[in-house]
Amino acid sequence: MICRATDPQCARMRLTTKGLLLIAIPALFELSLLSGLVKAQADATQAERWAVHSQDVLRQTTAILEPVLGESVALRGAVLANDARFSTPVSVWMDVDRRIDQLAELVADNPAQVERVVQVRQSVQAYRQWSDRIQDLLHSGRRRDVLARFRDLAPSDVLDRFRQQIAAFQTEERRLDTLRSNAADAARERQQTLVVAAVLGSLLFVALAVWLFTRGVRGRLAVLADNAGRLAGNEPLAPIGPGRDEIARLDLTLHETSRRLLEAERIEARFRADLARRTGELARINETLRQQTQENEMFIYSVSHDLRAPLVNLQGFSKELIRSCDELRAAVRESSLAAETRQRIERVVDEDIGEALHYLQTAVLRASHIIDALLRLSRVGRVEYRQQKVEVRDIVPRVIDAMQASIRARRAPVSVGELPAVWGDPTALEQVFANLIGNAVNYLDPSREGRIEIGTTPAPPGVHSLRIFYVRDNGLGIPAVALPRLFNAFQRLHGNVAAGEGIGLALVRRVVERHGGRVWAESKEGVGTTFYLSLPEAEARIAQQAVGTSAPPVVTSAQAIRDARPGVEDRDRRSGSDAAHAADARPGISTP
């Protein structure tokens, strides 16, 4: 019995179980029909075999009858011709005897026919004895006795008995052949009937099973499809139907998904509200930072200018003191003072006052350099950039050419890889690469052959609008403890290697961040350092301008690079004598 899918007990069944039942029940019906077909086939085969057997028996009886009848005709001809040399070959009787044995084997399963075969054999033997006596009489010339034998044979002719027994045998075998042929025909008809019944029954049974199965499943699938549509349209779902099969579990999954979507919408609404609040707070903080940065830059600019006047005065007074010391030294030499007193005064002027004035001028010069650095640092945040497509492959060779003297002095080969175009200010970006390449040249290890490499590296997954460049050297390297302060202003490492104020990398960071990128470093002391910087891709910005879309937020791209390279620390190495700010450096004291 096939259950309907709407029945509660059937609904608790798995779809696979229902499918197996749908297959198993027709299969059982098919097996029963198949067994009937097999039996009908076996019966038909057996009937056909018996029919063939009957034909073989009939042919065998004919093969026995014909040589005996032929020998009888030959014998009568010899008697009529009084042929004393006539003799029946022994092979004829041997062949007849062999055929009788074969016939006995063929009808061994039929006792009545076996008895008739025995009678046929006896008749053949009787006829052979009669034929041998006739032939003996012919050989001895006793023709009258032969004729008498033929006359005496009329009442009880052994040949007639032989023919009668063969005819009776063949009649019975033909009757059996008719029965067996009829049985074979009947078996074939039964087989054909069973085949037709099996085909029609199977089709009918399968159609009935499918109809009963789909009649209930179709309704549940319709409800499931309706719930799926409601879920897609964000509408309430129909109640969960009964059952424990796959359809019921899928319906339960849809309801669970709907519940989670509603919960996700509530969370998203709270998140959007929180995001709007935090966005407002971030905007206020950014505005505050912008104002503070502007105030700091103005303060640095003002302080730098305010400090120049005292420094100019200090330098001027120190020069006056030096000239006064020179005049005093000349006056002492021309005076009439004692030699010991004159030497003591000259020693004071040359050593004490001269050394103090030298320290004073050195400090004034150092303060002047710091003021110049502060001015350059403040100008970075105030300068207006001319954003355009910048060919980095043209900038880097110019920087390297400008540093050829230092590079040849260090005997350091510089290899430059493929450098794609970026979007930014050409002058600012040339300053960035000049600082980084200048650092690499200045801080090479003099104890081994230097090597500098400039190229690009693939961007992290998910970052498509930035190009990442690197400047790698095998120089002195940076200690791990110095990496966190690497890009802070006035932080210097290896101060005895190169002169400077320690703002080169701070300028690099300010410029790169204003371009919407980020700069970081990887280093190992005694092995070398690699500086990385990310810059906007030129083609992406050009495409955005072509379609009238704005560039993605700067913070998003920089944050993607930052998240893609966790654990990368900044390093604390500063170069003050690089080519980037060589043009801005003002030796001595100058007024603003």
Please give the torsion angle defined by the CA atoms of residues 199, 203, 206 and 208, in that order, rounded to the nearest 10 degrees: -130
Q: What is the mean pLDDT of residues 388-403?
A: 91
Residues sharing a CB contact under 8 Å with residue 143, sequence separation 6 or more, in sequence order: 82, 137
**Residue 211, pLDDT score:** 74
Please give the torsion angle defined by the CA atoms of residues 399, 401, 402 and 404, in that order, rounded to the nearest 10 degrees: 120
Q: What is the mean pLDDT of residues 374-389?
A: 69
Q: Which residue has the higher pLDDT, 147 or 590?
A: 147
Q: What is the pLDDT of residues 214-272, one digit of tens each?
A: 666 666 677 777 778 877 777 777 776 666 666 677 777 877 788 888 888 889 999 99
Indicate the SS3 state at residue 524: strand
Q: Where are the domains of the chain?
A: 8-218, 247-366, 385-564
Percentage of the residues of the chain whose pLDDT score is greater than 70: 75
Q: Which residue has the higher pLDDT, 127 or 309?
A: 127
Q: What is the pLDDT of residues 454-502, one digit of tens each?
A: 999 988 887 778 899 999 999 888 888 877 777 776 666 655 555 556 6
Which architecture, in CATH terms, is 385-564? 2-Layer Sandwich (3.30)
**Residue 370, pLDDT score:** 64
pTM of the model: 0.41
Q: Which residue has the higher pLDDT, 532 or 296?
A: 532
Q: Is the dihedral of CA 488, 300, 501, 379 positive or negative?
A: positive
Residues sharing a CB contact under 8 Å with residue 404, sequence separation 6 or more, in sequence order: none
Residues 501, 575: Cα–Cα separation, whole Å: 7
Of the candidates 1, 341, 44, 38, which has an alpha carbon nearest to the alpha carbon of residue 188? 44
